[in-house]
Chains A and B, each alone.
Chain A
């Protein structure tokens, strides 16, 4: 009992930390970072766009690790971590895509283009959406865990592909860290203040990820317990 109050206290601390970091990052984006010369205000989306994409991919990486862990040990805790990673990852990748789209409207003059980066990101979203459908289709928890783990491993191939797509293929998507394709539109050099803001945004989103992940795992544990009780009731009546 005491142990659980201690963890929930820790969780509240992480929550507050995440919230204040996000507010700090937001403040820095608007008041600390300079306005980019060519693109103007819309460039400020960059900080949260990249941070959200990073968090999304981190979620999928966690799901991969959890999948491997589950198949090796058979411990159902891994399954709870896996679905938490995918759900949070999917939310953040969607956010990143929407932010990117808002940025692209003035800069590329279109909401969407079939660029390698955009296409691979879309494929990645489709795969993890299919992951959720797959979970929905299996009732028995043990089997659901194994199947999801397998699909999380197979599906993860899309993540490095998305990450590397702007570095391997010809693309108009800018690469800020590393060298861009000459065809890319919307490239800029980060000034020191921009780098600070960018780093704080990355940290803020990572801490936010930890907080959300923690909450989702707690929820997952409760759900698993609920499912177990339901099964017990069911067999008890027989």
Chain B
């Protein structure tokens, strides 16, 4: 019970800080909008191709703006010396991991709640459905778990933020692929069994990365 309270406290602290500064989430949302515009202009998407590429565009947009959140939520602690205080907290180190992951996840879900309606608006269709929300939650969960682990590692490197995408993207490509395929089946139609296959794959990826992260996180922030 205490463990969950620590997680929620870290999460709530981040949300309070964000409410006062409004720097991370606003950057994520604006960047997401920019990426969508870039896609539309770069490929001069016709209504037909726009429907076919919607899943890919949405996920790539989410991933790109996700890295902003991943980089910031932990590096603010390092820059302002908050990390020492967090490490001194009388709780298991993984509570810090889950607290930060929860913050990142909520940021990313908020970004998704912004991206999907905006994309629907631009293309005069309604993409939103509760199944899609489920797929987005599953996909972003795995992305955030892996991302929080690797960002806690990359921010201790000489090059800081620069290396996170290089480390993170290849690892999550299979997860992203499953998410994109599941999303495109939802948007364009497709067989239920195929959808289930991708969902199972997505779910197992989430579990694998969650297990690895919990096991190795305290080795990263040891000192």
Show the binding face of A for B, using Cβ within 8 Å: 71, 120, 123, 126-127, 130, 133-134, 137-139, 143, 146-147, 149-151, 153-155, 157-158, 161
B219 with A126: CB separation less than 8 A: no
Majority DSSP secondary structure for residues of B touching A: helix
Q: With CB as the reference atom, state the residue of chain B lying closest to A146.
A: B219
Show the binding face of B for A, using Cβ within 8 Å: 146, 149-150, 153, 156-159, 163, 166-167, 170-171, 173-174, 205, 208-209, 212, 216, 219-220, 222-223
Report chain A residues within 8 Å CB of B170.
123, 126-127, 130, 155, 158
Report chain B residues within 8 Å CB of A155.
170-171
Majority DSSP secondary structure for residues of A touching B: helix
Report chain A residues within 8 Å CB of B156.
138, 143, 147
Report chain B residues within 8 Å CB of A149.
216, 219
Q: Contacts A137-B157, A147-B220 known; A154 to B150 CB distance under 8 Å?
A: yes
A150 with B219: CB separation less than 8 A: yes
Q: Of residues B170, B174, B219, which shows the largest number of chain A Cβ atoms within 10 Å of its Cβ?
A: B170
Q: List 30 interface pairs A-B (beta carbons < 8 Å), by A numbering.
A: A120-B174, A123-B173, A123-B174, A126-B170, A130-B163, A133-B163, A133-B166, A137-B159, A137-B163, A138-B156, A138-B158, A143-B156, A146-B219, A146-B220, A146-B222, A149-B216, A149-B219, A150-B149, A150-B220, A151-B150, A151-B153, A153-B216, A154-B150, A155-B170, A155-B171, A157-B171, A157-B205, A157-B208, A158-B171, A158-B174
Q: Contacts A126-B170, A138-B157 known; A154 to B212 CB distance under 8 Å?
A: yes
Q: With CB as the reference atom, state the residue of chain B lying closest to A67.
A: B216
A134 with B171: CB separation less than 8 A: no
- List 17 extra interface pairs beyond A130-B166, A158-B174, A161-B174, CB under 8 A: A123-B173, A126-B170, A127-B171, A130-B163, A134-B153, A134-B157, A134-B163, A137-B158, A138-B157, A138-B158, A143-B156, A147-B153, A147-B156, A150-B216, A153-B216, A154-B216, A157-B209
- Give the shortest distance, in Å, between A217 (CB) and chain B (any CB): 23
Q: Compute how far the CA of A120 lies from the CA of B178 in the bound complex, rounded to whole angstroms.
A: 13
Q: With CB as the reference atom, state the residue of chain A lying closest to B168.
A: A130
Q: Compute how far the CA of A147 lies from the CA of B156 in the bound complex, rounded to whole angstroms.
A: 10
- Give the shortest distance, in Å, between A213 (CB) and chain B (any CB): 24
Report chain A residues within 8 Å CB of B219.
71, 146, 149-150
Report chain B residues within 8 Å CB of A71.
216, 219
Q: Compute how far the CA of A150 lies from the CA of B153 in the bound complex, rounded to whole angstroms.
A: 9
Q: Of residues B146, B208, B209, B216, which shows the largest number of chain A Cβ atoms within 10 Å of its Cβ?
A: B216
- Give the shortest distance, in Å, between B147 (CB) and chain A (any CB): 11
Q: Compute how far the CA of A19 lies from the CA of B149 in the bound complex, rounded to whole angstroms.
A: 43
Q: Compute how far the CA of A106 lies from the CA of B57 in the bound complex, rounded to whole angstroms.
A: 35
- Give the shortest distance, in Å, between B75 (CB) and chain A (any CB): 15
- Give the shortest distance, in Å, between B116 (CB) and chain A (any CB): 27
Q: Compute how far the CA of A150 lies from the CA of B146 in the bound complex, rounded to whole angstroms.
A: 11
Q: Of residues B163, B171, B208, B222, which shows the largest number of chain A Cβ atoms within 10 Å of its Cβ?
A: B171
A130 with B153: CB separation less than 8 A: no
Q: Compute how far the CA of A146 lies from the CA of B153 in the bound complex, rounded to whole angstroms.
A: 10
Q: With CB as the reference atom, state the residue of chain B lying closest to A150.
A: B216
Report chain B residues within 8 Å CB of A137.
157-159, 163
Q: Compute how far the CA of A150 lies from the CA of B163 in the bound complex, rounded to whole angstroms.
A: 15
Q: Compute how far the CA of A127 lies from the CA of B174 in the bound complex, rounded to whole angstroms.
A: 12
Q: Compute how far the CA of A154 lies from the CA of B171 in the bound complex, rounded to whole angstroms.
A: 8
Q: Compute how far the CA of A161 lies from the CA of B159 in the bound complex, rounded to whole angstroms.
A: 30
